[in-house]
Structure 1
Amino acid sequence: MAITPLNEKIVVERMQAEDKTAGGIILPDNAKEKPKQGKILSLGEGKVLENGKRAPFQVKVGDKVLFTSYAGNEVTVDGKELLVMSEDDILAVVD
């Protein structure tokens, strides 16, 4: 099943959490912090402006991005956990 966001919404797949700390300690699943980095899977059509036109996105499909801690809404599609968020929740693009 495909998911297509509406308006200024973006679908992001969160990166995998680290299994080990920098010191080599293996973390159990309940101790892992959810990453604040992900890959953009799809974009909506853009925010509707006052003149009726749509604002272009500053990001594109495939970009790796950093986002705020509580960004978006989590949804599960075909067994994958995805985030649906606004472009405002994205802080930066990672090269």
Structure 2
Amino acid sequence: MPCHLILSKLADKCPSAVLAVLDSLVEPPQKTVNFKPKQDAVKQEVDHNEDMIRSALRAIASLNRISGGDCNLKFKSLMSEISKSPMLWDKYYSIRNE
């Protein structure tokens, strides 16, 4: 979660630097968003996973605010993946409007 916060701050303060390395920044939040806890996971693990997903979506929303980010194929693919999942899209939309 601290990494997501740092990424969000960097996207706001130094968008050109973040845009330059956007390819390498897409995969970690994508893995976090797509992670599914085990079937026998306890409530605490499920809650922690939900918190991690929300944190990753906040970082993705910050990256999405950078102009020119939509030219990156990996990032475009990630946004398409999020928009195709109703659960993720609802979370993303609520986070984006915070």
Q: Which has the higher helix share?
A: 2
> TM-score range with shorter-chain normalisation?
under 0.3
Question: Higher relative CO (CA 8 A, sep ≥ 6), structure 1 or 2?
Answer: 2
Q: Which has the higher strand share?
A: 1
Which structure has the larger Rg?
1
Q: TM-score, normalised by structure 1?
A: 0.25
Q: TM-score, normalised by structure 2?
A: 0.25
